[in-house]
Every structure is written in structure tokens, then in C-alpha cells.
């Protein structure tokens, strides 16, 4: 597991200066205009938005998750690597998160809605995964998405869902999470569900087995009290340890960054993420270590 951090915890640090880490080899494109984003629906009515892609063949596809579809495409702090990779033929796709936009109901909106649904024992992540899968299935069927080049990305709550979707759908080849929620119990909105045990089953740590050995890039600020820097560090270390126990490369890259604003990230992460995504999709899967054994005696 690669880590770059300034946080005073005993984790291994990659010796890369930040000034060198975010040298931009990609130029930023303009954020899409409203008319550039196409709103579509699956045959059974799941709404989603798409931007870019190559018309003559299936495209590498970035799943972008933040909140509501318009904000995902219009705000650069949510669009992130998509802003860089769309001009290179990548298709960007987004759906609305549980309790956001069209998915909100009276009294059940945003993270407050997540907390209430969790308190009622409602696995809103499973519902989200089912909707997202229908969209990806549809894009593959329509030959818009290359099934071998799918990347899940997201910011904060969207980063949480990006990792959860990757754990659910093995077609996701790489995942990028920007300042993601790791443990739902760290969110103040989940105080209403403090006695509900199923909340732990929804958080990322419960899904480490599904993520072992799969490419995962994560960023977080060193003072993020909103989603908890320490929780993400703990998750990354446990995932790395699980990969080591399974005798496979962890493929976890994790950056704890100096960020005095708290739940935010410094400029430049999108450039690094874009380069990492391209490398991850082009790389061959690493082979597990194997120890040679002496032939059995007859």
C-alpha cells in the first residue's frame, strides 16, 4: 500500500514531494455546459446523465458520484478527473445518490435521509447499487461503455458509494475516492441510528474482502473531522493487511494531505487521479506470489 501523508500515525510514507506528486501532464478541459450533458433512462426507468465518450466504439467509462446529477457535472470539485479524461474519449456517467434530488422524499433528504433510513434498518446502499448496475448494464448493451474499462469515482459520500459499488460490481477495474466517508457512524447524521447494528455492515470495513487486491486510490486531508481522517487511515491499513494475508499485492494507494480547511482537498489531486486511472486501466493484473514447493515423494 502506497501512502503519502503528514499525519502523525505509524503508517508507511511514500517519499514523494508534493511539488513533484502533482505535476500536471494533462490539461484541464472546460466543465460541461448543460447542453453537453445528456439525460437518459434505462428501459426500466433509472435516470442517469452522460457526458462525452467516443461515438464509434465503446468508451472507457468513469462513474462520477457526488449528490445530484447537475452538480456532479457542473462543479469541478466533483467532476475531478472526468474534466481531464473526457476529451481523451472517456464517457462520464452519474446517477443521483440515495435521498438526493429525484431520490429524496419529504423528511428524507441528503445525509439526514441516509441516517433516518439506516435507523429504520433500510439498506439504502443496496438500493443504490442495484440502480447503478442497471445503468452500467444498459450502457454496455448500447455499446457506449467498454466493459473492461470501468472506473468508479466519488467525493465524500460519493466516494463512500464508489467504493461500495466497486465491491459490489467486479466489472469496476479501478476506484478513486476523494475524502470519502469510511465509517457511517462518524457522521453526525447517523446518531439516530447509533443502536442499529446493520449500520456497521454498510460501512467500508465490512466490505474489505471484496476489495482485496483491486486498484484503489484515496485522498483525504490531515484534519478532516467531517468524515474522519483516522477512520480512512484505519480502513486503508486493514485492506492492505488483508491483501498481505491473502498473499496478493494490495494495489491500495493512499494520500493523507496537508489541508487546513478540513473536509477538503488541495488543488492537483485531479491530475494525479487522471494519470493513475489511465495507468490502472492499461496495467495487467498483478500475479499473486507463489512459493515453490518440492515435489512430493512417491
Domain spanning 2-19+38-282, CATH class: alpha beta
Which pLDDT value is given to residue 29? 58
Q: Contact 163/152 with Cβ under 8 angstroms?
A: yes
Helical residues (DSSP H) of the chain, grouped into ranges? 18-21, 69-74, 76-79, 82-85, 110-119, 124-141, 157-168, 198-202, 208-211, 229-245, 269-282
pLDDT category of residue 32 using cuts at 50, 70 and 90: confident
Say how far apart CA 57 and CA 39 lie, in whole Å: 20
Which pLDDT value is given to residue 36? 85
Which pLDDT value is given to residue 27? 52
pLDDT tens-digit series, residues 145-200: 999 999 999 999 999 999 999 999 999 999 999 999 999 999 999 999 999 999 99
Identify which of 166, 135, 168 has the alpha carbon closest to the alpha carbon of residue 153.
166
Residue 18, pLDDT > 60, answer no
> Cell triple for residue 209?
474482502
- Residues ≥6 apart with Cβ < 8 Å to 114: 98, 99, 124, 157, 184, 187, 189, 190
Which pLDDT value is given to residue 54? 74
pLDDT tens-digit series, residues 242-282: 999 999 999 999 999 999 999 999 988 999 999 999 999 99
Count CB atoms within 10 A of the CB of residue 140.
16
Q: How many residues does the chain have?
A: 298
Rg for the chain (alpha carbons), in Å? 19
Say how far apart CA 137 and CA 134 lie, in whole Å: 5
Q: Contact 233/256 with Cβ under 8 angstroms?
A: yes
Q: Contact 253/2 with Cβ under 8 angstroms?
A: yes
Identify which of 223, 232, 172 has the alpha carbon closest to the alpha carbon of residue 204.
232
Give DSSP secondary structure letters for 77-127.
Answer: HHHTTHHHHGGGT-EEEE-PPTTSGGG-BTTB-HHHHHHHHHHTT--HHHH
Across 237-268, b (16+ Cβ under 10 Å) vs e yields bebbebbeeeebbbbbbbbbbebeeebbbeeb
Which pLDDT value is given to residue 55? 74
pLDDT category of residue 205 using cuts at 50, 70 and 90: very high
Amino acid at each position: 500500500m502506497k501512502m503519502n501523508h503528514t499525519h502523525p500515525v505509524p503508517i508507511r510514507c511514500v517519499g514523494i514531494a508534493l511539488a513533484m506528486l502533482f505535476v500536471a501532464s494533462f490539461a484541464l478541459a472546460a466543465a460541461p455546459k448543460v447542453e453537453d450533458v445528456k439525460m437518459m433512462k434505462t428501459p426500466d426507468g433509472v435516470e442517469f446523465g452522460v457526458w462525452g465518450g467516443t461515438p464509434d466504439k465503446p468508451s472507457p467509462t468513469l462513474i462520477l458520484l457526488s449528490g445530484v446529477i447537475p452538480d456532479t457535472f457542473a462543479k469541478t470539485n466533483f467532476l475531478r478527473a472526468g474534466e481531464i479524461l473526457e476529451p481523451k474519449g472517456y464517457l462520464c456517467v452519474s446517477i443521483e445518490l440515495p435521498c438526493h434530488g429525484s431520490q429524496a422524499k419529504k423528511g428524507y433528504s441528503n445525509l439526514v435521509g441516509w441516517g433516518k433510513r439506516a435507523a429504520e434498518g433500510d439498506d439504502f446502499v443496496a438500493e443504490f447499487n442495484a440502480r447503478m448496475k442497471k445503468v452500467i448494464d444498459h450502457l454496455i448493451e448500447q455499446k457506449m461503455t467498454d466493459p473492461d474499462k470501468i472506473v468508479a469515482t466519488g467525493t465524500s459520500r460519493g466516494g463512500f458509494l464508489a467504493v461500495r459499488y466497486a465491491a459490489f460490481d467486479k466489472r469496476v477495474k479501478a476506484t478513486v475516492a476523494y475524502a470519502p466517508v469510511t465509517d457511517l457512524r462518524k457522521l453526525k447524521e447517523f446518531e439516530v441510528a447509533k443502536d442499529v447494528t446493520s449500520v456497521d455492515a454498510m460501512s467500508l470495513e465490512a466490505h474489505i474482502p471484496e476489495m482485496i487486491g483491486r486498484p484503489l486510490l484515496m485522498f483525504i486531508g490531515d484534519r478532516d473531522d467531517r468524515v474522519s481522517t483516522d477512520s480512512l487511515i484505519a480502513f486503508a491499513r486493514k485492506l492492505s493487511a488483508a491483501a498481505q494475508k491473502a498473499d496478493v499485492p494490495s494495489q491500495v494507494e493512499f494520500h493523507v494531505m496537508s489541508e487546513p480547511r478540513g473536509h477538503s482537498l488541495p488543488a492537483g489531486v485531479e491530475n494525479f487521479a487522471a494519470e493513475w486511472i489511465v495507468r490502472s486501466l492499461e496495467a495487467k493484473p498483478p500475479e499473486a506470489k507463489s512459493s515453490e514447493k518440492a515435489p512430493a515423494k512417491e
